[in-house]
């Protein structure tokens, strides 16, 4: 008998960080469309509310929550709110992240600590808080947003590369330690994605179009990804169809790593 594959998230409770814009926004909206109840978390509260409103206007269910993932108490309050209001958290997407341009010597201790706090420590706080409830229910999916630079390196991106390598290690370690509990942990490693963050970075260069062309040329497909192309993978990893997938690094990079 042929089995229909739908990637449904019907009635799953999902928490997505960094969901006010870019990849997080696309994931939150895709989850809403797939039937999940979505908690849209971001430090940018107006942006989070706009994302939640779009989900609701499309017929989905969403709640916007202002969160600072660099603060342990804020992370714990966020997870506890989800558990108190919905009784469970089926999916945690650790998407929030920041970048920085610099080498070891041009990256200040403050810059490095900022990236570590957002890109790694926030994932630790949130995962550690939600894990016990997932273990108790013997199911759950944690999806961490890494990067192609979690698997290779790039000039002048020292702190970003270090933290994204850490995300890959964090993912594999959690998956190995808790594989028998029914909780799955995976990460997505995108190449460059056309997001407001990337557009802002481009605008800071003297010749934005020239630098954009350089960025695009590093991918075999000669283009950047759109946020929805990353969101599709996040729907899969949250769905029951990915039940045998854990500890994986799902690369979505348009062939960026082919030449590395």
Active centre residues (catalytic): 160
d(CA 126, CA 120): 10
Single out the residue of 50, 58, 60 nearest to residue 14, CA to CA: 60
The SS3 of residue 31 is: helix
Rounded distance between C-alpha atoms, residue 109 and residue 112, angstroms: 5
- CB < 8 Å & 24+ apart, contacts of 73-77: 75/122, 75/125, 75/126, 75/129, 76/125, 76/129
Tell me if residue 251 falls in helix, strand or coil.
strand
Q: Which residue has the tokens 């969160």?
A: 67
Q: Diameter of the chain by CA atoms?
A: 60
């Amino acid at each position: 008998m042929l089995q229909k594959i739908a990637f449904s998230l019907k009635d799953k409770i999902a928490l997505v960080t960094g969901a006010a814009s870019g990849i997080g926004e696309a994931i939150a909206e895709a989850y809403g469309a797939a039937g999940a109840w979505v908690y849209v978390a971001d430090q940018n509260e107006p942006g989070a509310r706009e994302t939640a409103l779009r989900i609701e206007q499309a017929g989905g269910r969403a709640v916007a929550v202002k969160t600072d993932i660099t603060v342990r108490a804020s992370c714990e309050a966020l997870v506890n709110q989800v558990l108190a209001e919905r009784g469970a958290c089926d999916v945690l997407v650790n998407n929030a992240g920041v970048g920085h341009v610099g080498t070891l010597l041009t990256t200040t201790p403050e810059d490095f600590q900022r990236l570590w706090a957002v890109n790694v420590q926030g994932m630790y706080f949130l995962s550690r808080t939600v894990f016990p409830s997932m273990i108790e229910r013997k199911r759950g999916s944690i999806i961490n947003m890494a990067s192609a630079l979690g698997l290779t390196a790039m000039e002048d991106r020292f702190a970003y590369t270090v933290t994204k390598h850490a995300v890959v290690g964090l993912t594999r370690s959690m998956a190995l330690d808790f594989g028998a509990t029914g909780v799955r942990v995976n990460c997505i490693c995108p190449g460059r994605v056309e997001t407001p963050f990337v557009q802002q970075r481009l605008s800071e260069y003297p010749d934005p179009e020239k630098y954009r062309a350089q960025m695009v040329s590093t991918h075999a497909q000669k283009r950047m990804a759109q946020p929805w192309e990353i969101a599709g993978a996040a729907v899969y990893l949250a769905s029951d169809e990915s039940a045998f997938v854990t500890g994986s690094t799902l690369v979505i990079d348009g062939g960026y790593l082919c030449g590395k």
